[in-house]
Every structure is written in structure tokens, then in C-alpha cells.
Structure 1
Amino acid sequence: MGRTTPLSHLLLSCLLLVDLGNLAQAEPIKIGLNYPRTGNYKDEGLELRRGALLAVDEINQAGGVLGKPLELLSKNTSSQADKAVSNVDYFANQDARMVFGGATSEEAIAAGQRARERGLLYFATLSYANEVTGLAGHRYLFRESNSAWMSARVLGEYLSWHMPRQRYHYIIVDDAWGRSMENALRLATNSTDRARHGRTALPSGLVRREQYLAALNKAARSEADILVLVLLGENLQRSMRMVHNMGLKQRTQIIVPNLTKSVVQQAGPLVMEGVIGTEAWTWNLPSQDNIAQGQQFVERYISDYQEYPGSTSASAYSIVKQWADAVQRTQSLDSERLISTLEDHSYQLLKGQQQWRAFDHQNVQSIYAVRVRKRDDVMLDPFKQHYFDIIHHMDGDQAAPSQDEWQQERGEELQLR
């Protein structure tokens, strides 16, 4: 009993070919990816697209969604909100049923609003400002990435335990995320006194060398114990190379609240070693926590790209898989029905338990404080990309703002609309 004959194998193969043939002939279901192919965050954009393509391919190999194949449409935003908005219109005109992506909070807020006007769900990535699911939040906007509050709380707890009563200096990019992250981390580290804990605000977009230099010289003169760089993408890479060349790491602990694999990869582990920040996911977490689907994702990514996936790829991959799962559970592409299906839905995919929280549509998940490993240790790894040691973690419910805190930020509008 239970043994299959050669004829059985042949019949199964024929059925599989028929199913795949039917899938290929069916009208595809389109989804749209907003991603920065050029500009300050182009390295993160590459990771977003890779993660999305991997999810689409897996879903199609498993039979698609509602018996139809998924098709990924992608458009460059150059990390500009106006381009992200026009891309949403393009996707909607191409009959896309969902849009996701972005590398700045301004993109997420503007594109999310436009998606709502076009009746489409928008899932934000790399958009850390509290406003995304706070003051600017609405029913059609979901955020998979963590908020500034979540990063600040895990960092604040770690720093208060291990580096108490230190003098801070902040260098921020003057945009929604930069201001949000600075305010949250000041509260979490008791560094709200700006006379003692100074700052420099750099303009959004790419910054000139003399602006970096003036900001870093000011930080050096402050004699701060901890230098917080609220920067991402090429801005962070360039400033970190200058920090390294100036020798600031020898006398100051560098904090980068939101680290990504691509930043360490592009700046180099020697430049980044010892830097402390946060990550929502690292490639070795699934193996440590015995998460089978996470391990399969890592193995597939390595097979396709000959390198480890970062949290950026994991975020895009998870969004596509979660949206497709909601469509399958709902048996519908209707945005209103999908919102109800997603709200308060708990799941496990690439890490431990996660939830799409109903009252603000924030993805609640564990957050990790990480330190960039020494270059010599990184070089021992087969891919030379084992960049992070996890030094602290916090459960999502503890890290995310409570409903009372969320409502205080919202003011009179106490529900998503």
C-alpha cells in the first residue's frame, strides 16, 4: 500500500503539466512595486525587487492566486514622493490590485493616500516614521516595516542597561523619518535636553561633502559619548566613511537606528564594524528559531543570488505572500474585504509570530538591537556577509506604541478612515 507505480508517476506529471498550462493561459493578477532603482536608496531598491520576485515565483509555482498567475509590475521612484504617486496611477491604470514598496516615509504617505483614492491597498516598506501608521494612517495603508518608536524602544532599553548616563549627539536627515526617529530615541534614552545633547539636521536627498564634514566636526567638538546617525542609503554610507577616516569610532559609540544589509555591504564591514542599530530580521534568525519557511526562503535566495537576503528583501517577500494569502482566504480581490481579513491576522512566516494590528495597521513583530561584527569575523563567513550579532531583542507588543499612545498622536481622529 502507498507505493506509486510508473504509470501513477506519469499521470501525476501529466496533471501537473495541465495545471501549469492552464495557469499560464489565465489572465494574470497584477501587483505594483514602487522601488528606488536610482538615487540615494538604490541598493535597498534592488533588495526590494529581489524579494518580491522570489515571492511571485513561489506563488506561481504553487498554482498562483485564485487559479491565476501573479504578475509583478515595477516602477522606479528615485525615492521621490511625486514619482511614487504617479506610479500608483500607472499601476491602477494597468489594473493592478495592490501596490507596495517605497524607501522613504514621504513616499509611503503620499503613495498610500493616492492608492486609497484609487481603491487599492498600499503596503509600506522602509518607511519608519511614526506618522505612516500614526497621524497619516488610514484604512488602505498597512506597514510591514517597524516604526521609529519600535526601534527607539529596543535601543533605549539596551543603551540604558549597558551605556547609562551618556552624552548624545544627533545627526539627522530633515524629513519625516529623521525627525520622528530623533524624537523617539531622545525620549527612550532620556536625551531630550538639547543643550546637553546637540544635533545637526541635514537636508533631505543627497548631501554635499562639506555638509557632512561640518556636521561631523560639530559632533566631534561636542565630546559626545554616543553619536546617532539618523541616515540611510548613500547618505549613511558616505557619512560612515568620513566617521571612519576621522577616527570618531575610537572615542564615540556610533548608533544607526535602522541598519540594513546593503548599507554594510556597500560601506564595507571595516567602516561599519562596532556600529549599533536595529533590524526586524536577519538571515540567520530562521535557523536559530527553527522556522522552516524562513529557512527555505534563505536557501532559495542564496541559490538565486549567491548571497544572503537582508531584511529589506524579507519585507517585500513577506508582503506579497501575506497579501496573496489574504486573497486566498477571502476568495476575493476586493480591497474592503481584504482589509477585514488582514486586520488582527496573526501569522508565522520568516520569523516568530507577527500580526497586522487592526487599530493602526502596523505589523507588530519582534525587533532586534544588533551590532556590526568585526571585519575579521565577517571575512570568515563563506559569503563574507554575516554582518550582525543580535545583542538585544524586544517583543512587538512591548516595542509598538499602545492604542492610547496612538490615539494621543492622532488627536480627534481616533479611528482609521
Structure 2
Amino acid sequence: MGRVLLALLLAALLGQAEAESLKIGLNYPRTGNYKDEGLELRRGALLAVEAINRQGGLLGQSLELLSENTDSNAAQATRNVDHFASQGARMVFGSATSEEAIAAGQRARELGLLYFATLGYANEVTGQAGQRYLFRESGSAWMSARVLGEYLSWHLPRQRYHYIVIDDAWGRSIEQTLRLATGSADRARHGRSALPSGPLRREQYRAAMDKAAASGADVLVLALLGDNLQRSMRMAHNMGLKQRMQIIVPNLTKSLVQQVGPQVMEDVIGTETWTWDTPKLENSEAGQRFVERYLREHQEYPGGTAASAYTVVQQWADAVRRSASTDAETLIAALEGHRYQLLKDEQQWRDFDHQNLQSIYAVRVRKRDQIMRDTLKQHYFEIIHRMSGEQAAPSHDEWIQERGEVLSLQ
């Protein structure tokens, strides 16, 4: 009898503890093409949860992070949303591809949950596929293309381009918008190779690189991500293409330079919405505290991917505090149009498309000898150009043109 009572008491205590935590779900790639970015996402999210709980949690409850592997697969990301909902999650975020963000975001909407995309760069995420329950913290292809286009038009005018792109939503988005921004829309003059999404064979990379080498181009755009980009960069380096062409990687990440190495990546130009020294440049005390905390935990600088996950969790928590609710519709009203400053200068959740407006930077990977002089040998990026979010993101008129007949988020 005593054992039965003890078991019932333990069950009640466990149930109470479970009820006392607010749960959020992280959709991240622990395996697959984007696993390095996935590690950064989880680290950033955990730091945010720990910081919130040190300050007393939310609405009198502690915050708990649930996480599931997407393997960079949209169907798996969607199944994960169902799992998070069954566990009582109040919000879901993450994704490594635009396809994941769109599919998982739609499922979250059906279940009455907000979804925040962190690495879905395709214009469709907040454009044609945008909906009320989907917000995007990261920049878009529009934003990357515009800051790159302005910098390249000033410093590398009238150049011949060649594009190697991944045939997915983001690859098509960034190619289209970068061609417009750089005046390289003429495919007869500015050639391309399209690679299928998913795992690729070495001969597929080689065929694309051989075509680029024979193109006579001055600028080589590698519109690739994850392992595909890592392998392509190594091949371009080994073929000596960097000595003949300026290589552009539209979305650079800390993990890419770490995995490929500074010697291979030096002088490559791309974009970032945040680097570890951005808080100092933008006089953000909260951003500098985040960098210091990350350094203590992991003995390395945080990258933009970790900062994105951290920001999403903190911003959702801020909306919960301001509205005293975890109801999705109430939080949408609290987020739309909201301006804040966290890890950099001012940002805003735009009301008509739920795109996060923030400064975006054109960056160049530093020379290897410069990187090696840094204490941690990780000071990878030099900011070479800056553009405001308002200038970089599509205007309301451009957004309406992309949306077609559906002129508001549903």
C-alpha cells in the first residue's frame, strides 16, 4: 500500500513539474547536408532558454526546449511539428531549408502554433507562401542580392558572371534576384549550371566546375549551402578558380569557413545578418553579453545562425510577457510591427509579410594570416558594405506583385 501511495505521489509531482514548464520546439538538422548549421541553431536556442529561466521564466513557469532532427527533410520537419504539438509545445522554430520552413510552417498553422523560420532564405517563405502563423528571422534572397548588387556594381562593374545553383526554392530565388541586382540577367552572356537538391556525386560537382572554368567569367556565384557548398569550394580552390574569378557565396556562415578552412575561403564575398563583432560595431550591450556567454560555453565565437535562434526564442518570450499570453493570435498582434534592439541595431517584425527587417552586411572572408593572428583563429569576416533592412527587403508593392491575388496573410 505504501509503495502504491509513493508511486502516485511521484506521478503527481512529475505531472505538476510537466505542467509548470512552457515548451517550445526546435526543428533542426542534426544530420544531413546542413548538420553544422543545426549545431549552431541548437546552441543559440539553449542559451536563450537558459537566460530566460535565470530571469524567472515566463508567466511563472520555466521554459523547456524540445528538439527534433529534420535531417534537412521537409516531410520530417512537418512530422516533428505534430510531435511537438503532442508534447504541448506553444511555438515551433528552426528549419535549415526553405522547403522545410514552408511545409512545417503550414502544419503549425493548422495546429494553431506560430512557426519562426531561421535558415529559410527563399523569397517565397514570406512572399508567395507567406501566412499569418509564419515569421522569418533570417534575411531573404532579396536582401542578400540587393546588398551584394550594390557593392558589386560599385567595386566590380561590368563583369561577366557564371552561376552554379542548387535547384530548390532558395537557389532559384537567389539566382533570380542576384541577376537583377547585378545586371546579369542575360543567360547567353552570364551562364549557369543547376545542381539537383540532395546528395550529389563528385562528377556532378566536377561537370559544373568545368563549365564555369571554360565560361570566361570574371565572377563565379556559388548559390549552394551546407555540404554541397563545402565540397564545391574545395574543388574550386583545387582547380585554381579563385585566382581567375571572384567567388561569391550569397549566404556565408561561420560553420562553412570552419569546415572548409580559411585558406580555401579567403577573399570569398557573401552576406551575413550578424557576426560576432556586430554587437560592438552597433553598440549593443545585450549582443556583447550573448557573445561572452557563448564563448564561456563553447570556447568559440557564435555565428549568425546561433544568433538567429537566440533572437527567435527571446522575441517570442518578449511577446509572451508583453501580452501575458501564449495564444498564437494574441502573439501575432504583439509581434506585427514590433520594433526592438537585441543583438545589434534596431530590428522590426514587419506587419504585412512577417519578414524581420534588419541591417544586412556584405562581408569578405579575411586572409588566412589575418585570421591566424586572432586569439581563437576565428575572426573570419570583414564587413565591406552595409544596407538597412528597409532598403534591402522588397517593398509592399513588390510583395503584392509576388503574391498575386492573395494580398494579405491568411
Give the TM-score taking structure 2 as reference length. Answer: 0.96
> What is the CA RMSD across the aligned residues, in angstroms?
0.9
The amino acid that maps onto 2:223 is: V
Tell me which residue corresponds to 2:5.
none
Tell me which residue corresponds to 1:211.
204
Instruction: State the aligned residue count.
Output: 395
CA distance in 2, matches of 1:311, 1:176: 21
Deviates more, 1:282-291 or 1:251-260: 282-291
Query: What's the CA shift for 1:289?
Result: 2.1
Tell me which residue corresponds to 2:243.
250
Deviations 1:196-250 (A, max 9, x none): 0000000101211100000000000001000000011111111000000000000
CA distance in 2, matches of 1:246, 1:44: 27
Quick one: which of 102, 108, 112 aligns to 1:119? 112
Deviations 1:336-358 (A, max 9, x none): 00000000000000000000000
CA distance in 2, matches of 1:222, 1:290: 45
The amino acid that maps onto 1:229 is: L
Query: What's the CA shift for 1:27?
Result: 1.2
Tell me which residue corresponds to 2:31.
38
Q: Is the 8 A contact 1:123 1:142 kept in 2?
A: yes
The amino acid that maps onto 2:261 is: G
The amino acid that maps onto 1:176 is: A
What SS class does the counterpart of residue 350 from structure 1 fall into? Answer: coil
Quick one: which of 339, 346, 355 aligns to 2:348? 355
What SS class does the counterpart of residue 214 from structure 2 fall into? Answer: helix
Tell me which residue corresponds to 1:9.
none
CA distance in 2, matches of 1:288, 1:335: 35
Quick one: which of 61, 68, 71 aligns to 1:75? 68
The amino acid that maps onto 1:288 is: L
CA distance in 1, matches of 2:168, 2:283: 38
Query: What's the CA shift for 1:288?
Result: 2.0
Aligned ranges 1:223-302 → 2 under 5 Å: 223-302=216-295
Cα separation, partners in 2 of 1:228 and 1:66, compared to 1, 3 Å: same
CA distance in 1, matches of 2:18, 2:45: 22
CA distance in 2, matches of 1:345, 1:290: 20
CA distance in 2, matches of 1:208, 1:356: 40
1:377 aligns with 2:396: no
The amino acid that maps onto 1:294 is: G
Cα separation, partners in 2 of 1:26 and 1:80, compared to 1, 3 Å: closer
Quick one: which of 138, 146, 162 aligns to 1:169? 162
The amino acid that maps onto 1:354 is: Q
The amino acid that maps onto 1:264 is: V
Query: What's the CA shift for 1:25?
Result: 8.4
The amino acid that maps onto 1:240 is: M
Quick one: which of 147, 150, 153 aligns to 2:140? 147
CA distance in 1, matches of 2:72, 2:19: 34
Deviates more, 1:288-297 or 1:77-86: 288-297
Quick one: which of 383, 386, 389 aligns to 1:393? 386
Tell me which residue corresponds to 1:416.
409
Q: Is the 8 A contact 1:171 1:215 kept in 2?
A: yes
The amino acid that maps onto 2:352 is: F
Q: Structure 1: which 4+ aligned runs deviate by more than 6 Å?
A: none
The amino acid that maps onto 1:244 is: H
1:66 aligns with 2:39: no
CA distance in 2, matches of 1:140, 1:416: 9
CA distance in 1, matches of 2:278, 2:268: 20
List alignment gaps of at least 5 residues for structure 2.
Answer: 1-15
CA distance in 1, matches of 2:162, 2:142: 19
What SS class does the counterpart of residue 164 from structure 1 fall into? Answer: coil
Q: Is the 8 A contact 1:26 1:69 kept in 2?
A: no
The amino acid that maps onto 2:303 is: G
Tell me which residue corresponds to 1:321.
314
Q: Is the 8 A contact 1:346 1:355 kept in 2?
A: yes
Deviations 1:125-156 (A, max 9, x none): 11100000000000000000000000000000
Quick one: which of 168, 174, 186 aligns to 1:181? 174
Tell me which residue corresponds to 1:28.
21
Query: What's the CA shift for 1:26?
Result: 6.2
Q: Is the 8 A contact 1:154 1:369 kept in 2?
A: yes
CA distance in 1, matches of 2:255, 2:199: 17
CA distance in 2, matches of 1:302, 1:319: 20
List alignment gaps of at least 5 residues for structure 1.
Answer: 1-21
Quick one: which of 391, 399, 406 aligns to 2:399? 406
